[in-house]
Amino acid sequence: MSIGGFVLAVRLIPVAARYLLRRNMFGYDINKKGTPQGAIKVPESLGIVIGIVYLLIAILFQHFNFTADSNWLVEYNAALASICFMILLGFVDDVLDIPWRVKLVLPSFAALPLLMAYAGHTTIIIPKPLIQYTGVAILDLGWIYKLYMGMLAVFCTNAINIHAGINGLEVGQTVVISAAILIHNVMQIGASSDPEYKQAHAFSIYLVMPLLTTSLGLLSYNWYPSTVFVGDTYTYFAGMAMAVVGILGHFSETLLLFFLPQVLNFLYSCPQLFKIIPCPRHRLPRFDPQTGLLTGTKDGTLVNLFLRLFGRCSEKALCIRLLIFQALACLACFGLRYMLAGWYK
């Protein structure tokens, strides 16, 4: 079904792109300003296609996996409601261009269906070396755990959205992270004999597999030079899908380790996000139409930092460098988990 989703996405994107252009939903490619390509209207918000195809697959999938003891369907459908709500709010943002402060909190509304239906545990396991300080091995956080879930959703969505602005980066990072999640799930299912634990990771696979394949379909159009933009519909949708998967699969700490570049980008962005220093509408590098190279600006983003650290380069090379960094972060996370495994046994 996920492969079918890939094919459907690849077929539908050009059609939807025409309709979106007709409705004046487009953006100019800022990193091509000054060249003929910079004057082309690039259709925006193609994330709406991916979101719809994804939901279709995830909804139909229940039919084939339904058994009499399908308790997991309550949380599964709550997860889908949250993802669907997020797609709606992301699309609203693309159409209405909502102010930044309001935009920041939209994901907390979208997370509500999941938080309200969540009946799973609200406990955390204390690592062995820390038990002497807490006195207990398992700590019940109660409502604080739900607050944490909500904050995770807000973080994941916005973190993806602000690590963006060069062709292929929004979708590329999602592809790398969701591939890492998938590998993690398969490894955990193989390593465990606890049926509940296996179920949580199987659950995660159901939701992350269609995300990976539909995103690959989108990437084929969004890769340099982009013929479509993904819009905040996509960044919010992808962030929410991964947050939901991390919450219901009970591996949100691992998820945050996969998000290392996004965490760094967020921390580096904080002075501008909280208006300590001015924040322009776009915090992108400077493009030189003569050489076709990008130069880092003072704006606090990982994109600019990479250009300053590793020198000027083309937009495509920059995207590849950032995605390699993302993959390295995921690899390091697998290594770290392996080293710390003894902490929880």
Between CA 228 and CA 167 the distance in angstroms is 9
* Nearest residue to ligand UD1 on Cβ basis: 27
Span interacting with ligand UD1, options 56-64, 76-84, 162-170, 251-259, rule CB under 6 A: 162-170
Residues of 35-50 as b/e, b for ≥16 C-beta within 10 angstroms?
Answer: eeeeeeebbbbbbbbb
Number of shown-chain residues binding Mg ion (CB under 5 A): 3
* Least distance between Mg ion and beta carbon 31 (Å): 14
| Region of residue 40 (phi > 0: left; psi between -120 and 50: alpha; otherwise: beta) | beta
Q: Which of 11, 41, 128, 282 binds ligand UD1 (CB under 6 A)?
A: 282
- Does 27 engage in binding with ligand UD1 (CB under 6 A)? yes
Number of shown-chain residues binding ligand UD1 (CB under 6 A): 19
Residue 138, helix vs strand vs coil: strand
* Least distance between ligand UD1 and beta carbon 101 (Å): 11
| Region of residue 35 (phi > 0: left; psi between -120 and 50: alpha; otherwise: beta) | beta
Between CA 116 and CA 78 the distance in angstroms is 8
What are the tokens at 1?
């079904």
Kindly give, in sequence order, each residue whose CB lies less than 8 Å from that of residue 58, ignoring residues fewer than 6 positions away.
80, 83, 206, 207, 210
Span interacting with ligand UD1, options 26-34, 118-126, 204-212, 329-337, rule CB under 6 A: 26-34
Q: Which candidate, 194, 157, 183, 180, places its Cα nearest to that of 257?
A: 180
Q: What angle do CA 246, 247, 251 make, to 5 degrees?
A: 50
In terms of CB distance, is 78 or 228 closer to ligand UD1?
Answer: 228
* Contact positions with ligand UD1 (CB under 6 A) in 73-112: none
- Does residue 225 have a cis bond before it (omega within 30 degrees)? yes
Q: Which of 2, 82, 157, 161 binds ligand UD1 (CB under 6 A)?
A: 161
Span interacting with ligand UD1, options 21-29, 62-70, 117-125, 237-245, rule CB under 6 A: 21-29
* Least distance between ligand UD1 and beta carbon 334 (Å): 29
- Does 161 engage in binding with Mg ion (CB under 5 A)? yes
Distances (CA, A) of 18 to 13, 45, 46, 235, 281: 9, 12, 11, 21, 27
* Least distance between ligand UD1 and beta carbon 168 (Å): 7
Determine phi and psi for 45, rounding to 5 degrees. Answer: 70, 30
CB atoms within 10 A of CB 211: 27
Span interacting with Mg ion, options 137-145, 191-199, 221-229, 232-240, rule CB under 5 A: 232-240
Q: Which of 3, 30, 340, 341 binds ligand UD1 (CB under 6 A)?
A: 30
- Does 164 engage in binding with ligand UD1 (CB under 6 A)? yes
Span interacting with ligand UD1, options 139-147, 156-164, 256-264, 330-338, rule CB under 6 A: 156-164
Q: Which of 94, 232, 299, 315 binds Mg ion (CB under 5 A)?
A: 232
Span interacting with ligand UD1, options 23-31, 60-68, 141-149, 250-258, rule CB under 6 A: 23-31
Residue 230, helix vs strand vs coil: coil
* Least distance between ligand UD1 and beta carbon 147 (Å): 24
Residues that bind Mg ion (CB under 5 A): 161, 232, 235
Residues that bind ligand UD1 (CB under 6 A): 27-31, 44, 161-162, 164-167, 226, 229, 232, 269, 282-284
